[in-house]
Structure 1
């Protein structure tokens, strides 16, 4: 990074911001200038910003059986870009204004997979698409007992139809390698668990 570039409160100047659409999500148009690496402010640029609640994703992991619990559901975003728009994913949900990420992880595990989570291990926080969205994802591994897990879950009033799978961790990692698991949160969490499995099991078994 150039030594002349100093990020501070004045590094970005928002000139105008307006709401273009408000539904379940919101779309804003933002006109701004930001400081450039060479020094000085750059030209005015216009960007559409997808505004949404921050999200929580949690990978339920059974350290005794070395198994993970994954959910399968239809995703409209994959409808025209994947041969199968029913994706294998982590348990996930959006954060309401009065909730903590850990609360969301536990609530969604119950609603989407019928699971009671034990300890939660924070993996990271990341922006999945910061070029056009302000969403921040809180990513966890959650300790669980996978015995008896399965079936179809979800809230009928939200149109959820979620099938639960219990897989050996090695099978899930192979599914990542084969491209069967093809969404960011699941890939990140599974690869993190592959790297840290010994430490996690050492503390949780």
Structure 2
């Protein structure tokens, strides 16, 4: 048996959107189950996101600490952001987020992982990039506001982040997946075997 996720869409005889927010909305679908019954499913409709695990020449990861109100925590995270424009090239979005949140640019980009962070309650898809050959970006720093105005930046050795994940001290999904995936890549065929930055992404199709 091949262990691989496959696209599939069950019949939806009725749908509605009871809430529309600034960036996301909530959809209610009536879904026909395999036994013929109909079940109602509420979920967040999300434009998608990108995240960047930026690794410097000393093996340290660029991380930031930001307040996340829904969970009432300040979380250590990797730079990330929404795909604000439908059909936007995710690499361009990732480069923008790395500049805006960390004022960093990178010379080498790879796809580290593609994930659905919460597929039972949201259609959000996230592409996590690995960025290497990093240096300070040109120009002025991006003006921050709201939660980002209180953001802290640091560079942390990869093994220390892995330790924090396994100890239950770090919880952000993109950071967790990113550092463990990179550790697995180093232990396997190496990062040069990772998919190229422009690899297809069926969850959020884009133009190269």
TM-score category of the 2 structures, normalised to the smaller one: 0.7 to 0.9
Q: Which has the larger radius of gyration?
A: 1
2:77 to 82, 85, 89: 89
| Distance in 2 separating the partners of 1:107 and 1:126 | 20
Indicate the RMSD between aligned Cα atoms, in angstroms.
2.7
| Distance in 1 separating the partners of 2:19 and 2:62 | 36
Q: In the TM superposition, what is the alpha-carbon distance from 1:136 to its structure 2 partner?
A: 0.7
Aligned to 2:197: none
2:98 paired with 1:109: yes
2:171 paired with 1:172: no
Aligned to 1:43: 37
Partner deviation per Cα, 1:13-41 (whole Å, 9 max, x = no partner): 1111111011122011111203x2xxxx4
Structure 2's unaligned 5+ residue stretches are 195-208
Q: In the TM superposition, what is the alpha-carbon distance from 1:189 to its structure 2 partner?
A: 0.8
Aligned to 1:21: 19
Answer yes or no: is the 8 Å Cα contact 1:115–1:144 preserved in 2. no
Partner deviation per Cα, 1:115-143 (whole Å, 9 max, x = no partner): 11221111221111111111111111111
Aligned to 1:100: 89
The change in CA–CA distance for 1:8 and 1:28 in structure 2 (over 3 A counts) is closer
Q: In the TM superposition, what is the alpha-carbon distance from 1:163 to its structure 2 partner?
A: 1.5
Answer yes or no: is the 8 Å Cα contact 1:59–1:69 preserved in 2. yes
2:50 to 33, 39, 56: 56
| Distance in 1 separating the partners of 2:92 and 2:86 | 12
Partner deviation per Cα, 1:94-132 (whole Å, 9 max, x = no partner): 112142110111000000011112211112211111111
Q: In the TM superposition, what is the alpha-carbon distance from 1:202 to its structure 2 partner?
A: 10
Per mean C-alpha deviation after superposition, the further-off stretch among 20-29 and 103-112 is: 20-29
Report the TM-score, using the length of structure 1 for normalisation.
Answer: 0.79
Answer yes or no: is the 8 Å Cα contact 1:154–1:160 preserved in 2. no
The change in CA–CA distance for 1:67 and 1:58 in structure 2 (over 3 A counts) is same
The change in CA–CA distance for 1:169 and 1:19 in structure 2 (over 3 A counts) is same
Report the TM-score, using the length of structure 2 for normalisation.
Answer: 0.78
- Counterpart mapping for 1:104-183 below 5 A: 104-145=93-134, 155-157=143-145, 159-161=147-149, 162-183=151-172
Partner deviation per Cα, 1:32-52 (whole Å, 9 max, x = no partner): 203x2xxxx430111112111
Q: Hey, which bits of structure 1, 4+ residues long, moved more than 6 A?
A: none
Aligned to 1:12: 10
2:63 paired with 1:74: no
Q: In the TM superposition, what is the alpha-carbon distance from 1:200 to its structure 2 partner?
A: 2.9
Answer yes or no: is the 8 Å Cα contact 2:114–2:127 preserved in 1. yes
Structure 1's unaligned 5+ residue stretches are 2-6, 80-84
Structure 2 SS opposite 1:116: strand
